[in-house]
Amino acid sequence: MADYLLAILGSIMMIVGILGCVLPILPGPPLSFAALLVLHFSRFADFSATFLLTWGCVAIIVTVLDYVVPIWGTKKFGGSKSGMWGAGIGLVVGLIFLPPLGIIIGPFAGAVIGEALTGKNAAGSFRAGLGSFLGLLVGVGIKLAASIMMTFYFIKELIV
């Protein structure tokens, strides 16, 4: 009975983990990894320590990258250090004051404001903000890829 409860709990966590990849308030990949751990403690799965360690590291790295990639996107789209700092500060401010949409609005607005403060024209400031937004989309894609792979292994263990 406990094994079935663990499988149900893990399934719910996996679904919420995938949702967390697109909903900024939920930590998607860490929840997906936690679902693998929950399933590991049932009779349905026996993941190796290497497998669990690898996916735990992936979950951590992908979560960190999700915060770094918008700043990188700002730089790639012509943003200066002011724009990158603005995107980083905007991310933090957005997370604190405008959850959950602040993670989308904050870096964009921060990059635009940072560039505008250094005297860049409106088009250049907007371009840096666009880079931040595209970086955010890349981060979401990376999180989704990791969570979907973890979901694949989760389902594979449940079915076999």
Written as six digits, the tokens of 146 are 């990791």
pLDDT at res. 47: 95
How do residues 5-45 score in pLDDT, each as one tens digit? 999 999 999 999 999 998 777 899 999 999 999 999 999 99
pLDDT digits (tens, 9 = 90+) for 90-102: 888 988 888 777 8
Interval 102-146: pLDDT, tens: 878 888 898 899 989 988 888 888 888 888 888 888 988 999 999
pTM: 0.82
**pLDDT confidence of residue 153:** 97
- What number is the average pLDDT over the span 54-75? 90
44 or 160, which is more confident: 44
Rounded CA gap, 56 and 50, in Å? Answer: 10
- The domain limits of the chain are 2-159
Over its C-alpha atoms, the chain yields an Rg (Å, rounded) of: 19
Tabulate helix, strand, coil % of the chain (nearest 5).
85, 0, 15
Q: What is the pLDDT of residue 58?
A: 97
